[in-house]
Structure formats: structure tokens, C-alpha cells
Amino acid sequence: MLGIDLGGLTEKVRSRLEGQYESLAGVVRDYVESGELLEDVGAAAREIIVERTAMRRVDVRGRPFAPYTGEYAKWKAKRFGHAGAPDLRQSERMLGEITLKRDGPLAGRLGFTSGRSVEIAVFHQEGRGRLPRREFFGIRPGSAEEARLGEVVSREFGRRLGGRRQI
């Protein structure tokens, strides 16, 4: 029988795979330990929250925000020249103050830089007094938004791998 001994070739391919695995593990380790993974996820989550809130004007479940009361709509129209659907951007300040506070390479929280913005955010998030609940601050587990976070990380990870994906 005519044949080719694959033992030597298989060993070479195994060795290359192990080298690629080590390289891949190093890229993952560097991305995580540098805190850049957390920064990327935080930036993407912030972008999602601001876009959903200010542009689409919906809560974390995709429901439109409760409309303004007639009295507040009149006041807002007089003061700002418009009183459309709520977008939580009265002064443009609160949403602009969403920032990441790092607690470790993989631990951190999005929050607000000023106490006033925290107060306003809590009023909207929970609903207080006459203000209806407008739950804007969050990313729902299993949602398309959470999948977008994964896509951001995958793109960045792929960029970091560059041409090293070849065996």
C-alpha cells in the first residue's frame, strides 16, 4: 500500500496550534488585565443607554416613556421651545454625565459624575411623586443590546488578533 506517514505532519500542526493557543491566551489576558475590555463594554453600554433614551425615547424594555403631564409640557415648551416625547435631556447634562467607575480589571459600574444628575436619574428610574417611572438606566440580560456589547468586544478582540488566526 502506498501511504504517507501523517505522524510527523500531525505533530507539526499540533505544535502550531499550541503556539496559536498561547498567543490567543496572551491577547485575552492583556485585553482583560489592562482594563480595556471593561472600558470597551462601559463605553458601549453608555452609548446604548444614551441612544435608546434620547433618540428612541424608550425604556430598558423598549416601551415608550410615559408622556409629560399637560402642565409640565406647557412649561417645557415655554422654557425650551419644545415639549415632544420625553427624552430625559432637559438640560443635556444628566445623560452626558454617565461615566464608568472602575473597581478592577473586570469590575466597574456606570454612574453619574454629579449628585444632581444622580438625583434626577433616580427620579426618572424609580418614578417619584408626580413623575412617572421611566426606567432608562440599564441593559436587560439576554436583550439585543447585551448582544451588541458582545459584538463590540468581538470586533475589538478580532482587531487585536490581527493575522495571528492562521495555523
**Res 33: pLDDT:** 87
Parse the chain into domains and list their residue ranges. Answer: 34-161
Asked whether 65 and 72 are in contact (CB, 8 A), the reply is no
Look-up of cell digits 417619584: 128
Picking from 91, 50, 90, 83, the residue whose alpha carbon sits closest to that of residue 67 is 83
Picking from 11, 46, 19, 12, the residue whose alpha carbon sits closest to that of residue 152 is 46
**Res 143: pLDDT:** 92
Tell me the HSE value of 53 on the side-chain side, using a 13 A CA sphere: 23
Picking from 130, 118, 135, the residue whose alpha carbon sits closest to that of residue 68 is 130
Alpha helices (H) along 7-139: 7-33, 36-50, 70-80, 115-126
**Res 166: pLDDT:** 47
Euclidean distance between CA atoms 147 and 149, whole angstroms: 5
Euclidean distance between CA atoms 11 and 7, whole angstroms: 6
User: pLDDT (tens digit, 0 to 9) for every residue of the chain, 167 residues total?
Assistant: 676 767 677 778 777 777 777 778 888 888 888 888 889 999 999 999 999 998 999 999 999 988 888 888 888 888 877 777 777 876 668 889 999 998 887 788 999 988 899 998 998 899 888 788 999 999 999 999 999 998 988 888 788 877 554 44
Torsion of CA 29, 100, 65, 122, to 10 degrees: 130
Euclidean distance between CA atoms 10 and 1, whole angstroms: 20
Euclidean distance between CA atoms 158 and 24, whole angstroms: 10
Element (H, E) at 99: strand 98-104
**Res 146: pLDDT:** 92
What Rg value do the Cα atoms of the chain yield, rounded?
24
